[in-house]
């Protein structure tokens, strides 16, 4: 059994996790958009592969939610219920990213602000 973490160790783990998330987000941003942001409007990009990914993640989310319901009703250990809930949250986040890429598009406006604030 692992020893309990102190408040300082929990804080350090939280900071490390936040920095890892920001790092992964930055790497994904560079991989998808490139190093230089270009102004303009990007149309939604619904492709066949993206459609298949949306359907697959949707079905995975449905399966995990059904399994989570069974786990709660049958009284599974909290660690398993938490793992299922966390996996469902991750899949939902990925599904929202795919949906945004397929149906919403993006717009980058790099205009100078002229609102009277000196900075």
pLDDT tens-digit readout, 60-73: 999 999 999 999 99
Does residue 41 sit in helix, strand or coil? Answer: strand
Is 50 part of a structural domain of the chain? yes
Give the pLDDT of residue 66.
97
Examine the domain organization and report whether 71 and 18 are in the same domain. Answer: no
Examine the domain organization and report whether 95 and 60 are in the same domain. Answer: yes
Is 6 part of a structural domain of the chain? yes
Residue 71 DSSP one-character state: H
Give the pLDDT of residue 116.
73
Examine the domain organization and report whether 25 and 53 are in the same domain. Answer: no
pLDDT category at 108 given cuts 50, 70, 90 is low
Residues forming beta bridges with residue 42, ordered by sequence position:
106
Is 23 part of a structural domain of the chain? yes
Identify the weakest region by mean pLDDT among 10-19, 25-34, 37-46, 55-64. 37-46
With beta carbons less than 8 A apart as the criterion, state whether 83 and 64 touch: no
Examine the domain organization and report whether 9 and 64 are in the same domain. Answer: no
Is the dihedral angle over the CA atoms 108, 113, 117, 119 positive or is it negative? positive
Give the pLDDT of residue 36.
73
Alpha-carbon gap, residue 83 to 77, rounded angstroms: 10
Residue-number span of the structural domain to which 88 is assigned: 45-108
Taking 70 as the threshold, does the pLDDT of residue 107 lie above it? no
Examine the domain organization and report whether 3 and 29 are in the same domain. Answer: yes
Examine the domain organization and report whether 50 and 103 are in the same domain. Answer: yes
Give the pLDDT of residue 109.
63
Using the structure block, give the residue that is written with the tokens 């993006």: 106
How many structural domains comprise the chain? 2
């Amino acid at each position: 059994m692992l020893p309990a973490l102190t408040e300082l160790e929990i804080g350090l783990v939280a900071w490390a996790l936040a920095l890892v998330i920001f790092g992964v987000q930055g790497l994904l941003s560079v991989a998808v958009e490139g190093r230089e942001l270009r102004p303009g409007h990007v149309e939604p990009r619904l492709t066949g592969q993206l459609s298949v990914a949306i359907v697959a993640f949707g079905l995975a989310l449905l399966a995990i939610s059904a399994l989570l319901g069974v786990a709660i009703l049958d009284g599974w250990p909290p660690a398993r219920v938490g793992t299922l809930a966390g996996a469902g949250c991750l899949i939902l986040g990925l599904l929202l990213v795919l949906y945004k890429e397929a149906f919403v598009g993006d717009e980058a406006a790099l205009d100078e602000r002229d609102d009277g604030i000196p900075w």
